[in-house]
Structure 1
């Protein structure tokens, strides 16, 4: 099999593709030759482009089930097919759990989980016809404590569970996978962490020493949707640069780890 990935003639739908991770996903599929449709609340000032080709935007509130379903149906009707659905839209403000209202809990669940469930259900018959796949963008918050964004972490954990269940329920025709995002260097990342120095301090807690770029997550999505991943389904692929330094190392740099290892005896495994 050739290792080249060519999505020419294939149609990809991405929720929330105007900025951040979603834009990286849209641009990666455009670079691979796909026809890409994306949605969001507001059209970006500049549409994602690659190789002289631009993605098509539709204004959709994915929390509205009717709008969500109509968007998927319109894409399939205009193109005559749908090959890939990427459920990317999501997010949450920071706040203590006990301060959240029932409406807040519902809103976080709608944007991070129910919107993906609705879009995936609407896309099923079209993906079945093309032997396509679903890719859900989740988060490291789904598998580790997420204080301050507890409902977000819980919703992303639900999305990972849905990923695994549908991978079995829809096999062998439709593949369903997830990309678990670590910290990402989006357009607003520095402002989110306060200052450039605070941003750099957070980045240093990642073993690879930096945050991911949106393009790097997009490239993994392309790989998962491609024939190179034909036997991959039900997988949750972390794109997190190795996660976080273990607390007992106190974010020790690699060089210090090597120095510590040099002080370990080769007999008892204790420091000299």
Structure 2
């Protein structure tokens, strides 16, 4: 068991990618706490074990500090913090005011910073690690989710700076995700035909499953990645097929 006896916190770990990460950590032997504003529809379980749930709004610094203070008293340690909570609605920049876009930045950039700072003393004592959940949106144009893409770019940069400042006691890395098939995937990609069409644009021919992300997260949190810090691990199935390739060959004869 790669993470046997270790304590992990996964923010936004009640569904989707976060629940996939939580299940992978449970399977690896970790004692897992998931936090989110709302409880899961059903407990997050794997390998006959269940993640504990704690209600938490990561946009409230005082509440975040209280959460980690309570964790210190009840669990006594923290070995890995996974900053997974985030997301955004589709909204073109001109269709939303500055306050709406600022809320996206608050959830996707400031909240991971707030949680990491509150968790730092525990992580320092345990020689633990932080995992940021990033996105390919942070490295390419993201029309309709521009504030989200900017936040993810900032989160990846933040992780690299934290990796330098907090070394050697705390390792900090980023999982850079592409498209993931979650229970809400149909809201983004449409019905089964739409999902199939989107999956065809991925070199590996499918969207990631939450378990794929979980496996990568367990690796970065484990001793096998003990010399990996300040890194960005791409979990995107090979990326996105460049549109110009199809455009350049559309009139070519066989």
Give the TM bin, normalised by the shorter chain.
over 0.9
Task: Output one character per residue of 1:248-270: Cα deviation in whole Å (capped at 9) or x when no partner.
Answer: 32299xxxxxxx9xx9xxxxxxx
Query: What count of residue pairs does the alignment treat as equivalent?
Result: 250
TM (norm. structure 2) is 0.95
Indicate yes or no: 2:173 matched with 1:174. no
Q: Alignment partner for residue 119 of structure 2, among 116, 119, 123?
A: 123
Q: Could you tell me which runs of 5 or more consecutive residues in structure 1 were left unpaired when the two chains were aligned.
A: 253-259, 264-272
Tell me what 2:228 maps to. 232
Q: Which residue number corresponds to residue 189 of structure 2?
A: 193
Alpha-carbon spacing, 1:251–1:185, altered in 2? closer, same or farther (3 Å): farther
- Do 1:68 and 1:115's aligned partners in 2 also have CA atoms closer than 8 Å? no
Q: Secondary structure at the match of 1:109?
A: helix
2: CA distance between counterparts of 1:161 and 1:30? 29
Q: Secondary structure at the match of 2:215?
A: helix
1:198-230 superposed Cα distances (whole Å, 9 cap, x missing partner):
111111000001000001101101100101000
TM-align CA RMSD: 1.5
Aligned match for 1:157, one of 140, 153, 157: 153
8 A Cα contact 1:133 1:225, kept in partner:
yes
Instruction: Report the Cα offset of residue 90 of structure 1.
Output: 0.5
Counterparts of 2:42 and 2:21 in 1: how far apart (Å)? 15
- Shift in Å, 1:27: 0.3
Stretches of structure 2 lacking an aligned partner (at least 5 in a row): none
Indicate the residue corresponding to 1:134 in structure 2.
Answer: 130
For residues 147 and 33 of structure 1, do their structure 2 counterparts lie closer, same or farther at Cα, with a shift above 3 Å needed?
A: same
Question: Cα distance, 1:52 vs. partner?
Answer: 1.5
- Note the alpha carbon deviations across 1:9-36, whole angstroms, 9 max, x for none: 1100010001100000000000000000
Aligned residue in 2 for 1:246: 242
Counterpart secondary structure, 1:36: strand
Q: Does 1:12 align with 2:8?
A: yes
> Partner of 1:33 in structure 2?
29
Larger radius of gyration: 1
| 1:98–1:19 Cα change, 3 Å | same
Q: Does 1:215 align with 2:211?
A: yes
TM-score normalized by structure 1? 0.89
Determine if the alignment matches structure 1 residue 184 to structure 2 residue 180: yes
> Could you tell me whether the CA contact under 8 Å between 1:37 and 1:75 is conserved in 2?
no
CA offsets 1:112-141 (integer angstroms, 9 cap, x no match):
010100000011111110100000001000
